[in-house]
Amino acid sequence: MAAVASRMLGLRAAGLLRAACVGRAGASRSVLGVTSRPGVAWMPSRCGSSAAEAPATKADDSVLQWLLLLIPVTAFGLGTWQVQRRKWKLKLIAELESRVMAEPIPLPADPVELKNLEYRPVKVKGHFDHSKELYIMPRTMVDPAREAGRISSSTESGAFVVTPFHCTDLGVTILVNRGFVPRKKVNPETRQTGQVEGEMDLTGVVRLTETRKPFVPENNPERNHWHYRDLEAMARTTGADPVFIDADFKSTVPGGPIGGQTRVTLRNEHMQYIITWYGLCAATSYLWFKKFLHRMPAV
């Protein structure tokens, strides 16, 4: 009887000890932010991690905000740069037009001086050597009657006839672009009346050599097909000096090439670029303001 009582007291003490342990564990979980309910698996609370992630997200948004602001700022800078470029181009066009309209001067004896005289009218005296004509083609005619030598509305294709001209006063032979002939008149036998002979006075505009542009074919001296003005190669082919002038319209004779084929216009598309860049600046500035500033709470 005493043994049974002693065993019952031991079991009761063990139960009380187990209950105490469970109570302490629950208290520990509560303190650590752990929720525990009967029959539900406990999960750690996310309050601490969310609080840590919030500053990082805010910092990332701030960096993105200022990076995107570079787009309108850059567009504004490029638009302003195009404004300055347009001023420079208009000034250059005005200088070229005034140079073309200047009084002709004698052709300098030193070819080095010609580097600073492009588009400047010069006058020479001598005679042509029609046996060594060169042809720059295909070309369309420039209407000499229009202002600044602008291209006419005619789309007829032809060639510029380049002929060696011996300057009797300087003792040198230069190259003269006599002007435009239609394709059917490229052969000199079809325009014999225009092959002027004898000594004559000639006025023309100084032109310098040019490099081949993209998509322009290579010159073919063997076939006498020239696509761009390569003065060194033309001089070797004809035995002339690398000096080139465009004859003016007054040099035109019946049946011969039409002179005055100097193109002095320059591309001036800077206004389009100005509108494009400033428009992009305005659009991206509006989007940036709407996304980042419009939604900010008032302080």
Could you report the average pLDDT of every consecutive run of 10 residues in the chain (299 residues)? Answer: 44 45 44 45 50 58 80 93 93 85 91 90 96 95 62 73 96 96 94 94 95 93 95 96 95 94 81 93 90 63
Is residue 125 domain-shared with residue 217, that is, in the same domain? yes
Does residue 166 belong to any structural domain of this protein?
yes
Is residue 287 domain-shared with residue 182, that is, in the same domain? no
Is residue 212 domain-shared with residue 293, that is, in the same domain? no
d(CA 67, CA 124): 63
Is residue 245 domain-shared with residue 279, that is, in the same domain? no
Is residue 137 domain-shared with residue 211, that is, in the same domain? yes
Is residue 131 domain-shared with residue 229, that is, in the same domain? yes
Q: Both ends of the chain: CA-CA distance in Å?
A: 83
d(CA 21, CA 225): 106
d(CA 116, CA 107): 13
Does residue 27 belong to any structural domain of this protein?
no
Q: What is the pLDDT of residues 75-89, one digit of tens each?
A: 999 999 999 999 999
Domain of 281 in residue numbering reads as 64-104+268-299
Does residue 258 belong to any structural domain of this protein?
no
Beta strand pairing call for 121-128 and 105-106: parallel
Find the length of the chain: 299
* Predicted TM-score of the model (pTM): 0.65
Q: What is the pLDDT of residues 228-241, one digit of tens each?
A: 999 999 999 999 99
Does residue 240 belong to any structural domain of this protein?
yes
